[in-house]
A and B are shown apart, each in its own frame.
Chain A
Amino acid sequence: MRKKKRVILVPFANYDRTAIQEYLEDQARKGWMLESIDFGWVFRRTAPRNIRFAVCYFPDASAYDPRPTSKQQQFIDLCTHTGWVLVDSNAQMHIFYHTEPDPIPIETDPVMEVRTIHQVTIKQYGALWIVMIINCLLRIFLDCPTRAMYPLQELSSMDGIAMYVLWIILLIVWVIDISQYFLWYRKAKRIAQDKGAFYPVKNSRRFQLFLISIALAAIVMAGLNTDGSDSGIVMLLCFVLVAVVVMLIQWLTNVMKKKGIPGGTNKAITVVVSIIATFALISIISSTINSGVFSFLAPEEVTYTCEHNDYTHQAHRDAIPLRAEDLTGEIYTTEGYSTYAYGDSSFILGQYMYHQTSCQNLQEMNYTVLDIKLPSLYYYCLDILFYRDRGSYMVICENRCGAEIIYQRYADGDPKATYLICLEDRIAKLDANWLLTEEQLTIVASILKDCPLSVD
């Protein structure tokens, strides 16, 4: 059965009247007649028609008025008198059609038309542009100190990268949108004054839609993060909640319009409801987070206890790729040890941390393995590890011990049991409570070189 109705999100800027007109005329020729313009534009199937469309703007109209004001009606009546039929209006935008092939246009003075479009655009988007740019800049720059403080954590976190990419893309989209508009306005104003012609908008909405698709992909990627925590799901839920609330507010405004509630009252109620909804959203999200329904840490294994000198310690028994017993030659024992593993991974970097701690004064160690998927990050990560601790690192093995290079930390002239082991596409940093021999370092390198790193 053929569809009789369809709803489309029209990919044009509101002020791009020539593109909208051409699009509507093309749809009418294909048998899809515009019926209403709202959140989505509704088209109904009709017989193919070769008709003209005109998109006009009435600066004094409001999105909240239940019916046209007397001046707006006067404008519509004048258009009707010349054969133009109003299809629908939404806020300042009015769409008319004409059955004649070459009717007198509604706007015949380009200077006046450009001025009207500018007035309407600033009224509709001026505040939004400023708020969005400030919001994007704040999100990018306020997060910078955190990102600079924990760069490895950020680079290995899928949702961290996704959020950053998202805000940068949104900033680019808004900057493109604003600059395109003002470039068009400047040129259109000049051409209207000098040549008396209307200069159509040259808008690369396709590029902006492409960027928005990347931003959406970033959100989905964040939702599919691999550390086992719920942070990505929470972020996706937040976006869905915000979208639902925005649609509900829009629906409420439309219902009030249909019920004939005066524009001023409608606007006031919408503003109050929006403020309440914003606070409600924030409190719902924060109370859900605080209630512990979602976990922002990777799930922990069942904990065990470790007893020593009549004390009982909490212990984990996570699988770790390298144990102290591998180096000491002792037999593996779960008694007296707690092993804990956690990590996160993005498409450019994985960071996995393993702890083997003893409650019985046995040999223990902590190590971090960086899985570098973007080769250009290798020396950046190495530098971060170099400067994280006090003291300096000295080469103790080069092209030996199964590694490309191994550094050992020295502080106050004394060697410490901290090692940086550079492997082909991994860097491991190992802290032990004893000084390792070359033979033991060779075992470390051979195990960490290609052991599986994912954390269950």
Chain B
Amino acid sequence: MPREKFKTLTEQMFYVLLCLKEECYGMDILDRVPAMTDGRVKVGSGTLYNLLEQFLEARMIRETMVLGRRRSYILTALGQEMLEREYERIHAQAEDYRRIFGEEPMR
């Protein structure tokens, strides 16, 4: 089933939005996501460019500054709402898991 746009966020979308809690440049995001996830999640530069364009279009982020060829962005209220919704969804999934398996450590 095709994913309805931004109804749920991919891992890459989630971390890009998370980085933009604070104002930052696109290039910073490329460095921050692997650092934030201990290298588990990597965002390609082409993918990041497309995501930023899509987030801007959906007003989930806004451009704050253009310095030469560098542009910085920050999360909007709508973007924050999307991120929270995604957090709740992941949280609910984790709760469901705990209810079934309890707190026992995963094998």
A interface, CB within 8 angstroms of B: 56, 70-71, 73-75, 77-79, 81-82, 84, 104-109, 111-113, 116, 193
Contacts and interface: CB of A to CB of B under 8 A. Distances in A.
Interface string B55-84: 000000000000001110000000000000
B3 interface: yes
20 contacts: A70-B69, A73-B69, A74-B69, A75-B46, A78-B26, A79-B45, A79-B46, A82-B30, A104-B43, A105-B44, A108-B12, A108-B43, A109-B10, A109-B12, A109-B47, A111-B3, A112-B51, A113-B46, A116-B50, A193-B2
B46 A104 contact: no
Contact of B27 (A71, A77, A109): A77
Contacts of A113: 46-47
Nearest to A81: B27
B18 interface: no
Nearest to B45: A78
A104 B46 CA distance: 11
Q: How large is the interface on B (under 10, 10 to 19, 20 to 34, 35 or more residues)?
A: 20 to 34
Contacts of B53: 71
B49 interface: yes
Contacts of A56: 46
Nearest to A196: B10
Contacts of A74: 26, 49, 69, 71
Most buried by B among A108, A112, A113, A116: A108
7 closest Cβ pairs, A-B complex:
A108-B44, A78-B45, A106-B46, A79-B45, A81-B27, A109-B47, A75-B49
B44 A107 contact: yes
Given A74-B71, A77-B27, A77-B69, A108 B50 contact: no
A82 B45 contact: yes
Given A79-B46, A104-B44, 11 more contacts: A56-B46, A71-B53, A74-B26, A74-B49, A78-B45, A78-B49, A81-B27, A84-B45, A109-B12, A111-B3, A116-B50
A199 to B, nearest CB: 16
Given A74-B69, A78-B26, A106 B45 contact: yes
A119 to B, nearest CB: 11
B19 to A, nearest CB: 14
Contacts of A82: 30, 44-45
Interface in B27-56: 27, 30, 34, 42-51, 53
A193 B47 contact: no
A214 B76 CA distance: 60
Contacts of A116: 46, 50
Contacts of A73: 69
B50 A112 contact: yes
B30 A78 contact: yes
A108 B27 contact: no
Nearest to B1: A193
A104 B42 contact: yes
A113 B49 CA distance: 12
A82 B3 CA distance: 28
Q: Which of A56, A82, A113 has the most CB of B within 10 A?
A: A82
Given A74-B71, A78-B30, A109-B10, A193 B3 contact: yes
A115 to B, nearest CB: 9
Nearest to B27: A81
A109 B45 contact: no
Nearest to A116: B50
A109 B44 contact: yes
Contact of A107 (B27, B47, B70): B47
A78 B70 CA distance: 9
Nearest to A56: B46
A106 B71 contact: no
Nearest to B34: A104
B31 to A, nearest CB: 8
A348 to B, nearest CB: 53
A70 B63 CA distance: 15
A116 B69 CA distance: 23
B50 A78 contact: no
Interface string B1-16: 1110000001010000
